[in-house]
Each structure stands twice: as structure tokens, then as C-alpha cells.
Amino acid sequence: MTALIPRPAMEIAPGAVHLPGWLTLERQRELVTACRAWATGPVPIRHTRLPRGGVMSVQTVCIGWHWQPYKYTRNADDVNGERVAAFPDWMVQLGRRALLDAYGDAQGAADYTPDTALINFYDGQAKLGMHQDKDERSSAPVVSLSIGDTCVFRVGNTETRTKPYTDIELASGDLFVFGGPSRYVYHGVPKVYEGTADPDTGLASGRLNITMRVTGLTD
Ligand SMILES: O=C(O)CCC(=O)C(=O)O
């Protein structure tokens, strides 16, 4: 048996915090089961089409609000017109716990009420280019959970898609929170290490990433 070397919690930049191994295996399994159900509908998981004709290599399904470039709507008019699945309360609670553990700010965590999640599935070839999460009207932190294959996660700066940036590895069970001065950092996933997932998560291959956000929108 290989000994696991503990990876310490790290503040990558002010407000950008990496907590390795934050999700228990059981919680990862529950999330995989929930994501599998959301991937089937009411709005099925899809490769998002970009306005200039490109298609993202990552597959995405949303809950709470549907994201399409570059807005949030309740109904997925670019997929099948259906309303996306509701954002469950247990996910709000998970987001609050993530924020508390990342920042240690009890009030900030209690006030955090994410209302959308983008659930991305990466096969071994999928990548995500450097971008900012800026379609939300709220500047509340983004909570990111990873399950399955390990990836390289690139954390850049708020000004440009290019250097300076820091590459870290996000492995199964890792939590990454970016808020405060890092809320609008460019970030992306240049590489997924195929075949590194622990099948005990329920995900035999690939990588799942869930980002919870606060849209700041009302119906
Ligand atoms: O997959 C990841 O770790 C990041 C996902 C992301 O940046 C996004 O959904 O905007």
C-alpha cells in the first residue's frame, strides 16, 4: 500500500484557499450520485456552444440557474428550454461549511447562500481555458469541489489571462475557495491526469468539478 503524504491547506493568493482532501469519500460518492442524476435532466449535461461557434471540451450541467455564455437564466433555452433542477438546501449548507473552513469567518459563512452550481465533467482530453467568473452580479466567493481524476488548476491574476500564475493540483476531495481580492482571478484547467481517480468515489474515470456561486439574481 502506498503511504499518502498529507497535503497542507494553502492560501495560494489572498482570498484563494486550497483545502486538500476536504470531502470524505462518502460525501464524494453522494455528490457523484447527485451529479449523475442532474446530468440526465431536466436539462441534460452538454458541451456548451460558444458564441463564435466553438464548443467547450468540458461537459456542463447547472442547477439553480442555468449558465450559458455569458448569462444566467432559469430555463436552458440553448439546450432544451426546460427549467434547471432546483439548488438543494443541503448544497447551501455544504457551501457554508466550505466557506467556514476556508476563511474561519462564522458570520461570512452563515450569510453565504449560493444559488447556482456549474457541474463540469472532464474526460482525459478536456481542458478549460483561462477565464474569470464574472457573469454573477454578486461578488460572493466561489466554492469549488473536485472529484475523480487529479488536474492542474491554474490560478492567475485579475488583470490578464497570462502570467503571473500559479499551478496547483486539485485531487479528488479537494476544496478550493476564491473570494475577496481573488474573486475575479483568471483561472483554468490546462490538464487532467487521466486514470488517477479512485473508483471508490463512484466515478470510474474522468473528473467532476462543482463550483457554487451566488448569482445575485432574483426571478
Ligand atoms: O474545473 C475546475 O476546477 C474549474 C471550473 C471553472 O473554472 C468554472 O466552472 O468556471
- Is residue 201 lining ligand 1, measured as CB closer than 6 Å? no
pLDDT above 90 for 6? no
Q: What is the pTM of this model?
A: 0.97
In the chain, what are the domains?
10-213 (2.60.120.590)
- Is residue 211 lining ligand 1, measured as CB closer than 6 Å? yes
Please tell me the residue having the least CA distance from ligand 1 atom 2. 209
- The answer, yes or no, to whether the previous bond of 184 is cis (omega within 30 of 0) is no
pLDDT value, residue 213: 98
Instruction: Kindly give the number of the ligand 1 atom that is closest to the alpha carbon of 122.
Output: 1
Percent of the chain exceeding pLDDT 90 equals 96
Please tell me the residue having the least CA distance from ligand 1 atom 10. 133
- Is residue 59 lining ligand 1, measured as CB closer than 6 Å? no
Matching residue, cell 493540483: 169
Binding residue ranges for Fe cation: 131, 133, 187
Mean of all residue pLDDT scores within the chain = 97
Residue pair 142/102 in contact by the 8 Å Cβ criterion: no
Matching residue, cell 459563512: 109
Instruction: Kindly give the number of the ligand 1 atom that is closest to the alpha carbon of 146.
Output: 3
Say how many Å lie between the CA of residue 20 and the centre of ligand 1.
Answer: 16
CA distance 185 to 74: 26
pLDDT value, residue 3: 64
- Is residue 189 lining ligand 1, measured as CB closer than 6 Å? yes
CA distance 153 to 167: 6
Say how many Å lie between the CA of residue 141 and the centre of ligand 1.
Answer: 13
Say how many Å lie between the CA of residue 17 and the centre of ligand 1.
Answer: 15
Instruction: Give the pLDDT band (50/70/90) at residue 11.
Output: very high
| Burial letters 64-83, b for 16+ CB under 10 A, else e | bbbbbeeebeeebeebeeee
Instruction: Give the pLDDT band (50/70/90) at residue 2.
Output: low
Say how many Å lie between the CA of residue 133 and the centre of ligand 1.
Answer: 9
Listed in sequence order, the DSSP H helices in 15-170 are: 25-40, 89-103, 106-111
pLDDT value, residue 56: 98
Instruction: Give the pLDDT band (50/70/90) at residue 219.
Output: confident
Residue pair 47/55 in contact by the 8 Å Cβ criterion: yes
- Is residue 150 lining ligand 1, measured as CB closer than 6 Å? no
